[in-house]
Amino acid sequence: MKFLIAAADTGTYGFTLVGADGQVIATGRQYADKAAALAVVADMMREIGGAAIEDRTEPTEPTEPAGAPPSRTVDGEPDLARIGRSGIPPV
**pLDDT of the chain along its 91 residues, tens only?**
899 999 999 999 999 999 989 999 999 999 999 999 999 999 988 888 777 878 888 877 666 666 666 555 666 666 555 545 555 555 5
Q: Which pTM was predicted?
A: 0.55
Exposure string (b/e) for 5-39, b if CB count within 10 Å is 16 or more? Answer: eeeeeeebbbbebbeeeeeeeeebebbeeeeebee
How is domain 2-49 classified at the CATH fold level? Double Stranded RNA Binding Domain (3.30.160)
